[in-house]
Amino acid sequence: MMRVRTTCPYCGVGCGVAVEATGDGVAVKGDPNHPANFGRLCSKGAALAETLGLEDRLLHPQIEGRRASWAAATETIATAFSRIIERHGPDAVAFYVSGQMLIEDYYVANKLMKGFIGSANIDTNSRLCMASSVAGHKRAFGADVAPGCYEDLERADLVVLVGSNLAWCHPVLFQRIEDARRRRPDMRLVVVDPRRTATSEAADIHLPVAPGGDTALFRGLLRALERHGARDAAFVAAHTSGVEAALEASAPFDLARTARETRIAPELLARFFDLFIHTEKTVTVYSQGVNQAADGTDRVNAIINCHLLAGRIGKPGCSPFSVTGQPNAMGGREVGGLANQLACHMELDDPAARARVRRFWRAPRMADRPGLKAVDLFDAVHADRVKAVWIIATNPVVSMPDADRVREALRRCELVVVSDIVATTDTAACADILLPSTGWGEKSGMTTNSERRMSRQRAFLPPPGEARHDWRQICDVAAKMGWAEAFAYADSSEIFREYARLCALENDGARALDLAGLTALDKAGYEAFEPTQWPTPKGARGGMARLFADGRFFTPSGRANFVVPGGRAVAAVKPDYPYTLNTGRARDQWHTMTRTGRSPTLARHIGEPFVEMAPADAAREGLRDAEIVRVISPLGEMLVRLCVTARQRPGELFAPMHWNDAFAARARVGALVAPIVDPVSGQPALKASRVRIENAGAV
Ligand code: SF4
């Protein structure tokens, strides 16, 4: 029997998983010693063993649909990339990667593109998930950091969940809050969400905010905090900048205006404000409902402003707290997986940082400006400005906005390389070259969860067929392109050690992402690595649970910044498209179902795609519960089953993001979503598309 402690590959909670693998199969349990979950698992984690079968697995490389050797596939990719770069320059190629990749995979992809090819055209599906939080953190704190930790959610007297159906999307974190509430009945939970969800039903107060009303809500709260004397004057004076401008901009947001702009009843708002004002130990958690908006970064800063004013940061039970969607979204941010960042949180537009990284990598051709963010990247593919794209561990034909156009872009692209575990995704169908990757249980490396905690994923199964690790595929292509020495790693531990050394380089403690304590981690230490929160400064035995306890931030002045949100208006209702379509997750599916779609247990929860609609709207449209409907936007349409439910407010619809052509024809919600992005973060607004709905007739 093989016993392995590893990490769940789904959401950003990053739960520890204890695996027992025998000749008869694999048993999966929560790891009682992992500090993210202490033995708990949600339905998806508990069903991991059902996703390990080899049906549909991609077992051999393919070129134009035919089985090929690794040597031929590697040579073809390297030759094509080199030729395109020579003819059209480095910005004519791109990588589109994923928060499913491990830190080591991400690191070498970023090194190859930014240091050797000489372009910053590497972006990630994490752009769709948390880029607005990254941008908001950098504006407020001077670095992309989550100030608190999971324990803060248990120690708080008030937890506010904004745009987060935590009970379904980060279930173990929600279980931790619920367990804490059972132990401490005075602890309060407030949920800010346009929909009634499993999370809001457990709340003391549910604020059904209007789509686009979040910034107004937190501007109103900022004003209420100030008016009722909740300012931490000493903290604000000593450790922040810009408070007066933020307060002045929030001055018009009295209770009546806030109620009008949020469409929340004034009495409910007043209850929430009163609770927040008088509860010192408050954590505000935010995720996709905040991030996936045309004003996502402003929403993040509007929340952080309130915590700065009240001095509720850097202390146990006090923090603004972003939860990431993916298992290694945080790790991807750390190694520079975003097109606008260098490795180790260094900035691409900082000449000193570029020079430091160039020296460290001995890079022949450093990117000197930010690359294309996800939506712009696929636009450039469509416009033939990017002629070769390598897509790793993600399915943009389903998940990107204007998904039909993304499919068209890939079909007309000169070279599309896709690395995945299966050949059946909508994106794999567009590939010229398909590369078989190792999946969960077969690969080893590091991930970072939402509380900055690095954990090991460990292999307990051999790679099937000819599947290879993503980092190995990238290094082999880099070697063929002429950079063998710089990409000669024996295993993932060597890559991690190099990454830690780069993070530690010239780090005088002024930057958050300090891994100096891990630079000497040898292979045995890497294998035995216990979950640890960064920063891990030199000499530190463990990590750091909370940042900013000393009131020092990572801005040049050392002060946190209040940011005045812009207050972007919600798109006007068009008579032809009278409904606002919200998108999100179902409890028991993950992303585009490449893995969870294999589990019969998970399919029992919700087995098919659907759209939710309020009873009054259904009656007015003449639609009946459970019939098949057509949901139509100016860009595309989907066919799904109608679910008439009072959970949904009139005028608003909800559809899950998961289903796609591999599981149900014409059910990709991404085909309906306009490619509107937050101007600061580049994150697409996935939660407020204009649509109409009609009976599908005979389908
Ligand atoms: Fe996995 Fe997230 Fe569930 Fe934990 S909460 S078991 S990380 S899906």
What does the pLDDT look like over 293-323, one tens digit per residue?
999 999 999 999 999 999 999 999 999 999 9
Res. 513: pLDDT tops 90: no
Q: Which is higher by pLDDT, 212 or 662? A: 212
Q: What is the pLDDT of residue 507?
A: 57
Average pLDDT over residues 102-116: 97
* Residue in this structure with the two tokens 């019939």, named with its chain if needed: 627
Res. 699: pLDDT tops 70: no
Cα 10 to ligand 1 centre (Å):
6
Q: What is the pLDDT of residue 393?
A: 95
Mutate which of 7, 8, 328 for ligand 1 pocket (most atoms within 8 A of beta carbon): 8
Cis ω before 535 (30° cut-off from 0): yes
Q: Mean pLDDT in the chain?
A: 94
What are φ and ψ of residue 98, in 5° steps? -155, 145
Q: What is the pLDDT of residue 508?
A: 53
* Residue in this structure with the two tokens 């922040």, named with its chain if needed: 240
Q: Are 610 and 648 in contact (CB under 8 A)?
A: no
Res. 274: pLDDT tops 80: yes
Q: What is the pLDDT of residue 590?
A: 85
Which of 112, 94, 122 is closest to 361 using CA atoms? 112
Cα 168 to ligand 1 centre (Å):
10
The residue contributing the CA closest to ligand 1 atom 3 is 42
Calculated CA dihedral for residues 318, 320, 325, 330, nearest 10 degrees: -90
Cα 660 to ligand 1 centre (Å):
23
Rounded distance, CA 430 to CA 293, Å?
A: 29
User: Edge-to-edge, what's the strand order for the sheet holding 453-457?
Assistant: 445-448, 453-457, 532-533
Locate the ligand 1 atom nearest the alpha carbon of residue 449 and give its number: 7
Among 248-262, 492-506, 651-665, name the one with the lowest average pLDDT. 651-665
Which of 522, 464, 669 is closest to 585 using CA atoms? 669
Helix (H) or strand (E) holding 159: strand 158-162
Among 192-196, 251-255, 360-364, 666-670, name the one with the lowest average pLDDT. 666-670
> pLDDT category, 573, cuts 50, 70, 90?
low
Rounded distance, CA 429 to CA 391, Å?
A: 12
Cα 14 to ligand 1 centre (Å):
6
Rounded distance, CA 137 to CA 431, Å?
A: 36
> pLDDT category, 452, cuts 50, 70, 90?
very high
Identify the three-state secondary structure at position 693: strand
Among 116-125, 183-192, 517-526, 598-607, name the one with the lowest average pLDDT. 598-607
* DSSP states of 32-76: TT-TTTTT---HHHHTGGGG---TTB--S-EETTEE--HHHHHHH
The residue contributing the CA closest to ligand 1 atom 6 is 45
Cα 573 to ligand 1 centre (Å):
37
User: Which protein residues are within 6 Å of ligand 1, measured from CB?
Assistant: 8, 10-11, 13-15, 37, 41-42, 44-45, 170-172
The residue contributing the CA closest to ligand 1 atom 2 is 11
Mutate which of 5, 51, 172 for ligand 1 pocket (most atoms within 8 A of beta carbon): 172
What does the pLDDT look like over 608-641, one tens digit per residue?
899 999 999 999 999 999 999 999 999 999 999 9
Cα 440 to ligand 1 centre (Å):
14
What does the pLDDT look like over 14-62, one tens digit per residue?
999 999 988 888 999 999 999 999 999 999 999 999 999 898 899 999 9
Calculated CA dihedral for residues 231, 235, 236, 237, nearest 10 degrees: 120
**What is the phi-psi region of residue 613: left when phi exceeds 0, alpha when psi lies from -120 to 50, beta otherwise?**
beta
Res. 569: pLDDT tops 60: no
Q: What is the pLDDT of residue 510?
A: 53
Q: Are 147 and 304 in contact (CB under 8 A)?
A: no
Mutate which of 7, 31, 42 for ligand 1 pocket (most atoms within 8 A of beta carbon): 42
Q: Which domains does the chain have, with CATH numbers?
A: 2-51 (3.30.200.210), 62-129+328-484 (3.40.50.740), 131-322 (3.40.228.10), 579-695 (2.40.40.20)
Cα 48 to ligand 1 centre (Å):
10
Q: What is the pLDDT of residue 506?
A: 61
Residue 82, judged by CB atoms within 10 A of its CB (0-12, 13-18, 19+), counts as middle
Res. 574: pLDDT tops 80: no
Which amino acid is present at 630? R
Average pLDDT over residues 660-687: 89
Res. 698: pLDDT tops 80: no
Residue 608, judged by CB atoms within 10 A of its CB (0-12, 13-18, 19+), counts as exposed
- Tokens, residue 237: 């004076």
Which of 231, 234, 213, 214 is closest to 223 using CA atoms? 231
Q: What is the pLDDT of residue 333?
A: 87
Res. 524: pLDDT tops 70: yes
Cβ density class 541-552: b for 16+ within 10 Å, e for less: eebbbbbbeebb
Q: What is the pLDDT of residue 476?
A: 98
What does the pLDDT look like over 159-195, one tens digit per residue?
999 999 999 999 999 999 999 999 999 999 999 999 9
- What is the sign, positive or negative, of the torsion defined by CA atoms of 498, 145, 675, 620? positive
ipTM passes above 0.90: yes
Whole-number CA gyration radius for the chain: 24
Locate the ligand 1 atom nearest the alpha carbon of residue 10 and give its number: 8
Q: What is the pLDDT of residue 572?
A: 59
Q: What is the pLDDT of residue 543?
A: 83
Q: What is the pLDDT of residue 570?
A: 56
Cα 318 to ligand 1 centre (Å):
24
What does the pLDDT look like over 529-551, one tens digit per residue?
999 999 988 877 678 899 999 99
Mutate which of 19, 44, 48, 285 for ligand 1 pocket (most atoms within 8 A of beta carbon): 44
Cα 435 to ligand 1 centre (Å):
27
Res. 512: pLDDT tops 80: no
Res. 98: pLDDT tops 60: yes
Q: Which is higher by pLDDT, 350 or 697? A: 350
What does the pLDDT look like over 322-343, one tens digit per residue?
999 888 888 888 999 999 999 9
Query: Strands 689-695 and 453-457: what pairing?
Result: unpaired
